[in-house]
Amino acid sequence: MKESLAKQLRKVRRLTPFLAAAFYGLWRHRNLPPDPARAESAQWLHESCARGLRAIDVAVSVQGQLPASGLIVSNHLSYLDILAYSAALPCVFVSKAEVADWPIFGRYTRWSGSVFVRRHDRTDAARANVNVGNALKSGVPVVLFPEGTTTDGERVLRFHSTMLQPAIDAGAVITPCAIGYELEDGNVDREVCWWGDMTLLPHVLNLLGKKSVRACIVFGEPLAASGDRKELGKILHARVVELHDELRGNEMSGKFAMSVQK
């Protein structure tokens, strides 16, 4: 009973500041020019997400060199991934088209310069590739989740390589990385990871009641995008799996030395 009451109080204590941070970020967007450059939009998202995570007591820790440009390829666990990567560095995302219609989150993705992909429309790939290529040319890091869906974090699913082609065409640098979470009370795979048929709002509300959450990101060594995209996808998958395994080991030993504080 006492623990349940404490959890409900944490939800109440965090929900109002989080909503305030979300709406404040939308209000701050008015300071950008009418047609902002992607770098300006990425900086706005960076500041907004850092503010939002602070409001709900989610810490972000990183290892490795933050990439200044190019493609970032990562595993995908939760809606929190977007906030965590954005809080770590200014970046834009390749996102499924449905997110554009989400309340609040949708407006953030649209205003931040995200590249939207209609996942089940094969004819959409050419348009999406052009937009990814344009985003890479802007000099802002572009985050891609090539698994194409979120998972429970037990393993890294095979990569879909279609969105790697723009990086090859642009001769961009690709940075493999992995993200994971630490949770003081509860199960990361059910209460932080959001996957399968989980409903968004109950999941978010439950997460707000957790004692503490930490997002852990490890950036690997960058490599030049070249060759066949399918072979490149296999190489990147292997590197992300290595980082994923390293990350899980670090989570258990508490080896994350650098926290992102904004």
pLDDT surpassing 70 at residue 251: no
Q: Domains in the chain and their CATH numbers? A: 2-260 (3.40.1130)
Looking at residue 12, the DSSP 8-state letter turns out to be H
pLDDT score at 254: 54
Q: Which tens digits make up the pLDDT trace of 89-121?
A: 999 999 988 888 888 888 999 999 999 988 777
Q: Report the 10 Å Cβ neighbour count for 143.
A: 23
Those residues with Cβ within 8 angstroms of residue 86's Cβ, 6 or more apart along the chain or in another chain: 42, 45, 46, 48, 49, 50, 112
CA distances from 75 to 36, 98, 116, 182, 261 (A): 29, 19, 18, 16, 23
* The pLDDT value given to residue 52: 96
Q: What is the distance between the alpha carbons of residues 47 and 240, in angstroms, rounded to a whole number?
A: 27
Over residues 25-44, the mean pLDDT reads 94
- Mean pLDDT for the stretch of residues 213-240: 97
Pairing of strands 258-260, 58-63: antiparallel
Per-residue pLDDT for 27 more than 70? yes
Structure confidence by residue, pLDDT tens digits, 154-201? 999 999 999 999 999 999 999 999 999 999 888 999 999 999 999 999
Q: How confident is the model over 60-76, as pLDDT tens digits?
A: 999 999 999 999 999 99
Query: Taking the model in full, what pTM does it have?
Result: 0.91
CB-side neighbour CA atoms (13 Å) of 105: 17
What amino acid occupies position 260?
V
Q: What is the token pair recorded at 151?
A: 């998972």
